[in-house]
A and B are shown apart, each in its own frame.
Chain A
Amino acid sequence: MLALEGVTKRFGGLTAVRGVDLRVERGDLVGVIGPNGAGKTTLFNLIAGFQRPDAGHVRLDGVDLAGQEPHTICRRGLTRTFQIVKPFGNLSVEDNVMIGALTRVASVRRARREAAAVLEACGLGPFRATRARALPIGLRKRLEVARALATGPRLLLLDEVLAGLNPAELGPMLDLIRRLHAEGLTLLVIEHIMAAIMRLAQRIVVLHHGEKIAEDVPAGIARDPRVIDAYLGEEFVLAPA
């Protein structure tokens, strides 16, 4: 479904992403981990069209996305969320989600109905009339996901949606991601919380200094000496699921 070939991005002298190959097949749930500054978010920017790769290709269903703008890529079925959430602060939660739905449906009334369904599914139903900026961070993260879902993606890119959540919020968000995956959505997930992503993803890609240093099932990643050196530290033991 999604294929990256030798994707490279430089900012001046710094190579943020270097020669990354990655394949995501329909129905996958792939995790992306790596220390701060490893190039995870830059990778998302390159996939979703917010930045252009200096070399390499990003293909969605075989179509090269080079030069396409983010909104076109979204309409092709690939939607991303932002690590630093970007709610439409002065609008209600419902309007936020409805604007996502309006990408697919032209009628405001239908979009509002679809938004209501997405809000229920994401547990945001009670907050539909709240101004987005008044939501606590945990719910803002959920709104970020809900709004992206409303665009009807086939492939959803989640950028650290678990970060900043308290233990009580973590569970429902993990359940939501699992449920979406079970319903057939393909997901590519950047995550910092190791225990969570290890249990969530079928396959994990590790970035370090912009390069892919490993790709394996979670158990394999936890044992990989390069990953342990770069990121996990020797003490890390995979928590039982």
Chain B
Amino acid sequence: MIGAGALRGRAPAALLFGAFALAPVVVRDAFFLDSLVLILMWGALSGAWNIAGGYAGQVSLGHAAFFGIGAYSAALLGTRWALSPWLGLAAGAVVSVLAGCVLGYLSNRLKGPYFALATIAFAQVLLIVASRWRGFTQGSEGIPVPFRPGLWTLGVDRRGWLYLALGLALTVYLVEVYLESSRIGYQLAGVREDEDAAEALGIATRRLRVWSISASAALTAVGGALWAQYVGFVDPFYVFSIDLSIRFALNAIIGGLATALGPFLGSLLITTLETSLRATFAGVRAGFTGVYLIVYGCLLIVVVRFAPDGLSGLAARRGRRDSSRARA
């Protein structure tokens, strides 16, 4: 499926993921391992967002909808019917594909900012449903997810979680690599760059757009299900929040839209900043917990100004400059 050519020039990714894989062997510190798990999870979720938002150019600000669907599927199946979170994960992915088709259909009618607004509304509707439907979702109280030891019940220690998160991250990364080297990936790029031209050249633009949003939704739901199990609590106001949707988009934008490694670089930077800022300021005064949001904003301004193609774009440009210098 992925040819050898597609893997050329992927050394930075191999290095990054390799370092994550080796980390638990060297480090035992719980806080550090927790940070690594979160970096991988948010990176994978931004990578999932990148499939629709980056490669296909369908910028969604409502991907928390799919994250929430995944989280609730795993939590509800686990608590109500004592089913394995793996089944919840699969169910969440299926429901999200259906929801993704709805959103994909919307994307055929609404373009650009209007589509983004529709996605926000979509996540908000799910938030209202989840927080009001007390009988089924326990409303705004949220759902505590019980810890049951074992791999089938996803009750594993932090090192286990690191490898689960790494597995998700690698899956998403390989899907992205596939999109950079396959027929469907090139056709998606055509849809992103100019829909009319793509359509005129024989590309079924509507179907491809729905496909990209559904694939992105399914992977986001898988991430949501794993996250719910890792954190152990599903709060509707968090899992369906616009903050979360923006986080997915922001990591990808800062790291580099439509680049395979970009979302992971973005997550590495943002998640590290966030956890360290929170750790630093939370102790000082309760009012400082939001400081990381200010840093977020400043960072975004800096990136848009100095590295409009994101971190990976910056690296690529530097590489080009070096090689041209070498020639000179």
Query: Footprint of B on A, CB under 8 Å?
Result: 48, 50, 69-71, 74-75, 79-82, 86-91, 95, 98-100, 102-104, 106-109, 111, 147-148, 150-151
Contacts and interface: CB of A to CB of B under 8 A. Distances in A.
Contacts of A148: 200-201
Nearest to B205: A71
A79 B194 CA distance: 16
Q: What are the 6 A-B residue pairs with the smallest beta carbon separation, nearest first?
A: A103-B202, A88-B193, A74-B202, A86-B197, A70-B199, A86-B194
A104 B181 CA distance: 17
B199 A69 contact: yes
A73 to B, nearest CB: 9
Interface string B89-105: 00000000000000000
Give the secondary structure class of B's interface: helix
Interface stretch (B112-120, B142-150, B183-191, B263-271): B183-191
B201 A79 contact: yes
Contacts of A70: 199-200
A95 B200 contact: no
10 contacts: A69-B199, A70-B200, A71-B201, A71-B203, A75-B202, A79-B200, A98-B186, A108-B183, A148-B201, A150-B201
B196 interface: yes
A90 B187 CA distance: 14
Contacts of B181: 108
A99 B200 contact: no
B193 A50 contact: no
Contacts of B193: 87-91
A99 B189 contact: yes
Q: Which of B3, B182, B200, B203 has the most C-beta atoms of chain A within 10 angstroms of its own C-beta? A: B200
A88 B194 CA distance: 6
Contact of B201 (A107, A108, A147): A147
A88 B200 contact: no
B77 interface: no
B18 to A, nearest CB: 28
B205 A102 contact: no
B204 interface: yes
Interface string B1-21: 001000000000000000000
B202 A48 contact: no
B198 interface: yes
A102 B196 CA distance: 16
A111 B183 contact: yes
A90 B197 CA distance: 14
